[in-house]
Amino acid sequence: MTTSAPIRQPCPPGACDCGRDPLLETPGADVRILFLTRTEEKRLIERLENLSSLQDLEHLQRRMFEQLGIRVDIVPSLNEVRTMRGIGIYVAELPGLCRKTRASIPAAIRRAMEKRPEIAYEVLNANDLLRDA
């Protein structure tokens, strides 16, 4: 008896542009992202909202890439950063990654930075905060 891991249910027609079905039909395609079910997505978002440090964030970035293929880049604006909106959080497009998930990951990271501003300061320092001084 073989048991396969549950995969994400399809989005309602017209509601998403994730490309889930073509991904499943492509032989040899990387389908790791489909293992991110809605319950697992909720756990991931909750975990991202409760980050404790920059090291914790970097660890989660590595794990998301290793396990799901999701690449998240966090870079401060080239101009002055006055709010959390000045820190760019980009989730690379990936076949099978729902657009709502692509939007909820950066939002969860921003909420974590608002709760713990020291994470944002560490991001700024790691990206050469005083480069023009």
Q: What is the largest CA-CA distance in the chain?
A: 65
pLDDT over 90 at 41, yes or no? yes
Arithmetic mean of pLDDT, 64-93: 81
Residue 120 inside a domain? The answer is yes
Whole-prediction pTM: 0.84
pLDDT digits (tens, 9 = 90+) for 80-93: 555 566 788 999 98
Question: CA torsion angle for 47, 68, 53, 113 (degrees, to 10)?
Answer: -70
Residue 122 inside a domain? The answer is yes
44 exposure class (CB count in 10 Å sphere: 0-12, 13-18, 19+): buried
Sign of CA pseudo-dihedral 13, 17, 18, 20: positive
Structural domain boundaries enclosing 67:
20-126
Residue 79 inside a domain? The answer is yes
pLDDT over 80 at 112, yes or no? yes
Residue 97 inside a domain? The answer is yes
CA angle, 10 then 16 then 21, to 5°: 45
Give how many domains the chain has, as a whole number: 1
